[in-house]
Amino acid sequence: MSSSGSGSSSGSGSRSGSRILRRVIARNGKRLWTGTALIGVHQACEASIPILIGVTVDSAVGPGDGMSLILWVSVLALLFVVLNVAYRFGSRQLMKAIAEEAHVLRVEVAAKILHPRGAQTGFRTGDLLTVSTTDADETSYLLDYVPRIAGSIVATIISAVTLLWISVPLGLTVLVATPIVLVLLQISAPLITKRVADQQAQAGRATSLATDLVTGLRPLRGIGAQDAAADRYRAVSRRSLAATLRASRTQGAYQAASTTLSTLLACGIAVLAGWFALTGRITVGQFITVIGSAQFLMEPFGLLAIVPSWVAEARASADRVAQVTDAGMVLPEGVADPSEERCELRLTGVRHGPLEGLDLRVRPGELVGVVANRPADAEALVKLLAVPIGFEGTVLLAGVPLENIERSRARRLLLVEPHNTDLFTGTIGTNVALSDDQPLTAALSAASADDVLELSADGLDAPVAERGASLSGGQRQRLALARALHARPPVLVLHDPTTAVDAVTEHAIAQGIRALRHGPDSGFATIVITSSPALLAVTDRVVVLGEGVVTTEGSHAELGTVDADYRRMVLR
Amino acid sequence: MTLPIASSEESRAWLRAELRTRKAEVGYTLAAGVVAAVATIIPVYVLGRLVDQVRDGAGASAIIPISLVIVVSALIGGAATGLSTYLVGRLGSRMLADLRESTVATALRLPALVLDRAGRGDLLSRVGADIAAIGKAVSEVLPQVISAVLLGLLSLVAMAGIDWRLGLAGAVAVPFYVFALRWYLPKAAPRYAQERAAVAERSQLLVESMQGLRTVHAYRLEDRHQADIATASAKARDISVNVFILFTRFGARINRAEFFGLAVILVTGFWLVRNGTVTVGETSAAALLFHRLFNPVAMLMFTFDDVQAAGASLGRLVGVVRMDVPAVPSGDRPAGSALTLDKVSFSYDGITPVLHEVSLRVEPGERVALVGSTGAGKTTAASIAAGILRPSQGSAYVDGVPVPDLPPRTVAIVSQETHVFAGPLLEDLRLARPGATTEEALAALSRVGALTWAQALPEGLDTLVGDGEHELTAAQAQQLALARLVLLDPAVAVLDEATAEAGSAGARDLEDSAAAALEGRTALVVAHRLTQAAAADRVIVMEHGSIVESGPHEELVAAGGWYAGLWAAWSARTPAAASAAGSASASPASASGSGSAGSSAGD
């Protein structure tokens, strides 16, 4: 598993993994035990087939007894019916339990990840995806392993009892020699695992190179580098082939060893049983049963040998699931509920990352531009307002410390639209109109996003592909801006909202924001973090951040005329 | 319009042709498989003989020759099984390696228009998921399938060898197996597809929610996303359970085949023994041989949908390989480097014209900026000049040679769409010129002003960059694209909006980088920032697919046309700069007025 992430899987993690596994068993009790019992019946039937073949030969085929043949073939038919019915209903019960458990775990994990107070899982996004998909599945597979173990034990016992009943020395030989052979074969397993893992890694590398090159096809074509790219892929493909052949050789060698050993074992038993039969100690039918049973026993024995590693995998996955579901919360549980719609945002002496004592006050109705000399200062400010944790100083919203405000309330009052716009699969309407039923027209035209609607006859119902991939960067940015404007929060923070639009449109957007949010008597406050002169030109006031503190403040026009540093940062 | 998929006949034809080129390898691979299967069958047959000897009351010494035979065949069988596993895997992997390499090579050569129409997703899934699916099938399923098929066939042959009626009895199971498959596969394929789609939808919701967590939280969408995830997950769960129920019914049909096969063998054996045609031992051998086939044949049945899926993937790969791609022109670069577009018209859909009889000429070494509002046709004109698109009418030339006939590396385009190729930074640069030395790469980076940050990377030029590795900023990625251009050293360069995403501060640096990269080349620059236009030797203004103005920046500004209006809007956003330039509408107060004027001009 690649998803160990930064989290530790030892100590408390291990115990919580076991706790998750115990819960898996407990909450699926009825289905699990019904299924396990039925799978046990199924395995018992499987183990009985070679016995029946022997009995049929002994009592019907040998003596030429027609009635006996009818009897035993009927028994065989009955056996197959029971075998199949038991399997069908047992495995369905188990499958339902497995699917339901994986679903429940997945929903639990997702709920934790999406929790508005933020979960401290220690995993990166990619790893979280693995936890919510593969690990949730792997954990639920415990419900598959339990009946398999039980079934294998049942099958082993039936075969063993039969063999011992036919002949004690013969039975003992089979029961001792088979596990030894299986253990011998397990010795080479790590090497195979390693080679196969290497093969998969190389194959994965070739796959990701191919997708990477095709993703970058336009730039590649632009410089006529397709041949160079194809050559590069060929080299990686050949390395992947070499790794596959290495793994194939190892697997071939393992196959040769395992086939030889298990055939020799089966043959040894057959020869021994044959000698017993020749010397009259067992009957012909018993001889046949021994051959068939010895062959059949390899299967449950083999499963019992491999199943501990499966359970260990389920356990490792359960540990990772637990690491997410047990994760602590980043933000405290806020309780304050300021009802004021005209909110003031006030930062005093805030230290957070690169910010070194930032003072910033935005009154209701104000449109304030923030210019950051260092991009990191802007990032830190945005992050702090979205997740108010790990800072010194005070951040007051409507006079209440931001971190003390109940999270839903806080986010309704203060909306921070991140610079990297995220759109979601759906339609333009589902992406932009998130809250109320007010018409979107005003927000869309303020963000100059009306033209996006004209792309398709469906208008607001035009589909948006995953992550907005069907739209251009500029279209995505304008839709996200429209979404923010449409939400009509008392305090809105925009971070570089127009980097992907052209000069003319940028002007129109600046006008649109001003007109929509800052008409007469508007109580809305807006902070625009940007270095775009078009946006700054419509602000009431510009605050300049340098080295983590406010260095200058004034109107855009004023700063543009008197401040050379400002000109360098903003004007071109 | 989608990429073609090869029909099963075409795929089979491809497979036959491939196998024909490897006759010897196919020969000994099959031979090893046959030896392995025969060696597996011999002991069972010999043990059947032993049954007869027991019944005939032979002495204990009869065990010796039998032991010898089965031990020898166990040794040979083991070795042959291993060898066959390896050889089958090798044959399959070699064929697959050739196939994936030609698929990728063809994919990379597909014309831009074909790809734009088919969508990149389809091609990506072919070079990604499809190749991976066949690779898995070849290394995990194929050896087992081949050995199960051989074992099944040869077991039937062995039974028929004892007595043809016993062989026939064993063959009774075959139609049952076939019926089971024919019942299952048509039902399973659409349900598995449904399951895959449901799982993909579920993953997509999870990925989107996690990657967009900031937005989810900002807009208080957590409950909505949680509900969507739960719904998608429940849907995938229900489909999986249904698919499994179908599978258990398939299992029942396989059990039925096993029972009938075994019962018919026992009854036939009974009857033949009574007739005196075969012995009890021979009947036992046939029954045991058949019992032995239960597992391998069931495995064969269960992997049939994998095989089918691999077949579908194969069709999708062969479909790509069979596509026609333009040949790479050879010959020398033309001596001159004048770029001409001669009455070029273009339409993506054949109905709406995007370009209408556009003619322009860029003199050797001249830098011309293309200006216009969105949808004016700038990017299309640039793509035609660079040979990415073929015009519907008219032609593009460099020094009189049609652009599609130019040898590689004569014209290059850097577009807005940047991509950092995954791997060491140096290797990314070397895509432009394979075999470039480190010094040359450093020089290229230095020329575009990227040397400082490149050397400051954790491992310098050896730093792994791109997807999942060290992430470069948008501006760095653009500079990298420009450095590739420098390393490529084309006579004619086209730049399309290469600074648009960088934000205002970065844009100025990028403009400098671009200027450095273009030095000494004939250059056509699609300019979004008018500073780029102002710095060019000449400006061409496009509207609605035609050229409306053309001339040096100062002339156009003085002429008071469309460009002059645009420039006024642009300079108004920068009051100090505008007043420094002594332009007319140069106060912040008038910014709003000229802004709206600019935007109406842009419509």
- ipTM comes to 0.86
Distances (CA, A) of B384 to B76, B156, B326, B345: 66, 65, 16, 10
The tokens for B30 are: 């099959």
Q: Could you tell me which of B36, B33, B42 has the C-alpha nearest to residue B70?
A: B42
Chain A interface includes B251 (CB < 8 A): yes
Choice among A6-15, A446-455, A501-510, B109-118 with the minimum mean pLDDT: A6-15
Structure tokens at A237: 């493909």
pLDDT tens for each residue of A270-304? 888 999 999 989 988 898 888 888 878 878 887 88
Within 8 A of A454 by CB-CB distance, chain B residues are none
pLDDT at B595: 33
Residue B571 is predicted with a pLDDT of: 66
Comparing alpha-carbon positions, the chain A residue that sits nearest to B412 is A223
The residue-averaged pLDDT of B482-510 equals 78
Residues 6+ apart with CB under 8 A from B337: B364, B365, B398, B399, B491, B492, B521, B522
Q: How many CA atoms lie within 13 A of A290 on its CB side?
A: 35
Output the pLDDT for position B601. 31
- Residue B19 and residue B135 in one domain: yes
pLDDT at A192: 78
pLDDT at position A190 over 90 = no
pLDDT digits (tens, 9 = 90+) for A315-326: 989 999 999 999
Per-residue pLDDT tens over the stretch B427-444:
999 999 998 999 999 999
pLDDT of residue A499: 79
Please name the residues in contact with A489: beta carbons below 8 A apart, sequence gap of 6 or more.
Answer: A412, A413, A414, A415, A524
Paired strand residues for A367: A526
The fold of A345-570 is Rossmann fold (3.40.50)
Q: What pLDDT sits at residue A10? A: 39
Does residue B191 share a domain with residue B101? no
pLDDT at B469: 77
Domain that holds residue B86: 1-162+305-326
Query: Quick check: A441 pLDDT over 90?
Result: no
Question: Is residue B584 over pLDDT 80?
Answer: no
Could you tell me if B100 and B169 lie in one domain? Answer: no
Which residues, 6 or more positions from B18, have their beta carbon under 8 angstroms from its beta carbon?
Answer: B95, B98, B99
Tell me the nearest-neighbour CA distance from A252 into chain B, angstroms.
Answer: 4
Percent of chain B with pLDDT over 90: 52
CB contact under 8 A, B262 and A76: yes
In a domain, B288, yes or no: no
Give CA–CA dist B258/A101, Å, rounded: 34
Residue A8 pLDDT = 38
The mean pLDDT value for A499-527 works out to: 87
Query: Stretch B567-584: mean pLDDT, rounded?
Result: 49
> Is B216 in Cβ contact with A213 (below 8 Å)?
no
Q: How far apart are CA B339 and CA B402, in angstroms?
A: 10
Residues B151 and B267 in one domain: no
In sequence order, the 6+-apart residues with CB closer than 8 A to the CB of A159 are A47, A293, A296, A297, A300
Q: Is residue B282, in this structure, part of any structural domain at all?
A: no
Q: Tokens 């003619």 label which residue?
A: B359
Average pLDDT score over chain B: 86
Tell me the per-residue pLDDT of A381-409, one tens digit each, with 9 for 90 and over. Answer: 998 999 998 899 999 999 999 999 999 99
Q: Do B573 and A216 touch (CB under 8 A)?
A: no
Superfamily of domain A9-166+306-330 in the CATH hierarchy: ABC transporter type 1, transmembrane domain (1.20.1560.10)
Q: What is the DSSP string of A313-358?
A: HHHHHHHHHHHHHTPEESS----B----SS--EEEEEEEETTEEEE
Residue-wise DSSP of A45-114? HHHHHHHHHHHHIIIIITTT-HHHHHHHHHHHHHHHHHHHHHHHHHHHHHHHHHHHHHHHHHHHHHHHHH
> What's the gap in Å between the CA of A491 and the closest CA on chain B?
12
Nearest C-alpha neighbor of A388 from the set A345, A331, A334, A434: A331
B168 pLDDT more than 50: yes
Q: Which residues 98-117 of B are in CB contact (within 8 Å) with A? A: 100-101, 104-105, 107-109, 112, 115
Residue B136 lies in a domain: yes
Cβ neighbors of A347 (< 8 A, separation 6 or more) are A358, A359, A360, A361, A393, A394, A395, A396
Residue A570, pLDDT above cutoff 80: no
Edge-first strand order for the sheet with B393-398 is B355-362, B339-346, B393-398, B401-402
For the stretch B237-272, pLDDT in tens is 999 999 999 999 999 999 999 999 999 999 999 999
Q: Which residues of A487-513 are buried (b: 16+ CB within 10 A; e: fewer)?
A: bbbbbbbbbbbbbbbbbbbbbbbbbbb
A248–B488 C-beta distance less than 8 A:
no
DSSP B62: G
Task: Centre a 10 Å sphere on the Cβ of residue B16 and count the other Cβ atoms it contains.
Answer: 9
Assigned domain for B297 exists: no
How far apart CA A107 and CA A105 sit, in angstroms, is 5
Give the tokens for residue B255. Answer: 């059990």
The whole-number pLDDT of residue B491 equals: 94
Q: Which residues contact B296 (CB under 8 A, 6 or more apart)?
A: B144, B147, B148, B151, B152
Q: In Å, how far is A368's CA from the nearest CA of chain B? A: 16
Nearest CA in chain A to B39: A263
B70, two tokens: 């089965």
Q: Phi-psi bin for A63: left (phi > 0), alpha (psi -120 to 50), beta?
A: alpha
Number of domains in chain B: 4
Interface touch A57/B131, C-beta < 8 Å: no
Whether residue A255 and residue B284 make contact (CB cut-off 8 A), yes or no, is no
Q: What angle do CA B239, B241, B245 make, to 5 degrees?
A: 115
Residue A191 has pLDDT above 90, yes or no: no
Q: Are B408 and B545 members of one domain?
A: yes
Chain B residue with Cα closest to A203: B132
| CA distances from residue B491 to B344, B365, B485, B510, B518 in whole angstroms, order as listed | 22, 9, 10, 21, 10
The answer to whether A31 touches A93, Cβ cutoff 8 Å, is: yes
What pLDDT was estimated at residue A509?
A: 93
Query: Which residue among B115, B259, B427 places its CB closest to the CB of A77?
Result: B259
Identify whether B110 is part of a domain. Answer: yes
- Which residue in chain B has the smallest CA separation from A252? B82
Say if residue B106 is in the same domain as residue B196. Answer: no
- Cα distance between residue A524 and residue A435, in whole Å: 17
Model confidence at B384, pLDDT cuts 50, 70, 90, reads: very high
B421 plus B431 within the same structural domain: yes
Where are the strands (E) in B399-481, listed by range? Answer: 401-402, 411-414, 423-424, 464-465
B71 touching A (Cβ < 8 Å): yes
Contacts of B64 (CB under 8 A, 6+ apart): none
Determine, yes or no, domain membership for B45: yes
Burial (CB count <10 Å: 0-12, 13-18, 19+), residue A520? exposed
User: What are the domain boundaries of chain A?
Assistant: 9-166+306-330, 168-281, 345-570
Residues B131 and B221 in one domain: no
Q: Are A371 and A556 in contact (CB under 8 A)?
A: no
B151 and B174 part of one domain: no
B287 falls within a domain: no
CA dist list (Å): B154 to A425, B82, B102, B170, B281:
54, 18, 37, 11, 19
Higher pLDDT, B304 or B14: B14
Check residue A232 and give its pLDDT: 93
Supply the DSSP string of A215-267, one letter for each residue. HTHHHHHHTT-HHHHHHHHHHHHHHHHHHHHHHHHHHHHHHHHHHHHHHHHHH
Give the distance, in angstroms, between the CA of residue B78 and the centroid of all CA atoms in the same chain.
Answer: 39
According to the per-residue pLDDT averaged within each range, which of A268-272, A452-456, B234-238 is highest? B234-238
Do B67 and B183 share a domain, yes or no? no
What is the distance in angstroms between the Cα of A15 and the nearest Cα belonging to chain B?
Answer: 27
pLDDT band at A123 (very low <50, low <70, confident <90, very high): confident
Nearest-angstrom CA–CA distance, B23 and A208: 33
Hey, is A499 helix, strand or coil?
coil
- Does the residue B296 lie in any domain? no
* pLDDT, tens digit (0-9, with 9 covering 90-100), for B59-103: 888 889 999 998 999 899 999 999 998 999 999 999 999 999 999
Q: What value does the mean pLDDT take over residues A1-20?
A: 54
**pLDDT score of A79 more than 70:** yes
Q: How many interchain CB pairs under 8 A, A with B?
A: 487
- On whether both B440 and B471 belong to a single domain, the answer is yes
| CATH at residue B528 | 3.40.50.300
Question: Measured between CB atoms, does B229 come within 8 Å of chain A?
Answer: yes
Q: State how far the Cα of A359 lies from the Cα of A365, in Å rounded to an integer.
A: 19
The 8-class DSSP code of residue B460 comes to G
What is the rounded distance in angstroms from the CA atom of residue B254 to the CA atom of residue B259? 9
Rounded (10°) angle between helices B280-302 and B173-211 = 30
Check whether B583 has a pLDDT greater than 80. Answer: no
Go through B161-197 and write b for each residue having 16 or more CB atoms within 10 A of its CB, e for each that does not.
Answer: ebbebbbebbebbeebbeebbeebeeebeebbebbee
Q: pLDDT, tens digit, for every residue of B332-379?
A: 888 889 999 999 999 877 777 889 999 999 999 999 999 887 668 888
| List of residues 6+ apart from B542 with CB closer than 8 A | B358, B370, B371, B372, B376, B377, B378, B381, B548
Provide mean pLDDT across the span A512-525.
90
Interface contact flag, A422 B208, Cβ < 8 Å: yes
pLDDT band, residue B111 (cuts 50/70/90): confident
Contact B485/A at CB under 8 A: yes
Q: Which of A5-19, A136-150, B4-18, B392-406 bottoms out in mean pLDDT, i.e. has the lowest?
A: A5-19
B477, burial (CB in 10 Å: exposed 0-12, middle 13-18, buried 19+) = buried
**Partner residue opposite B63 with nearest CB, options A225, A271, A533:** A271
pLDDT in tens, B175-227: 999 999 999 988 988 888 888 889 888 888 888 888 888 899 999 999 999 99
Cβ atoms of B220 and A114 closer than 8 Å:
no
Surface of B (399-458) touching A: CB under 8 A: 408-409, 412-415, 417-423, 427, 430-432, 434
Q: Which among B295, B326, B357 is the end of a domain? A: B326
Per-residue pLDDT reduced to its tens digit, B531-568: 788 889 999 999 888 999 999 999 999 998 888 887 87
SS3 A482: helix
Domain endpoint, select from B265, B297, B326: B326
Residues B150 and B174 occupy one common structural domain? no
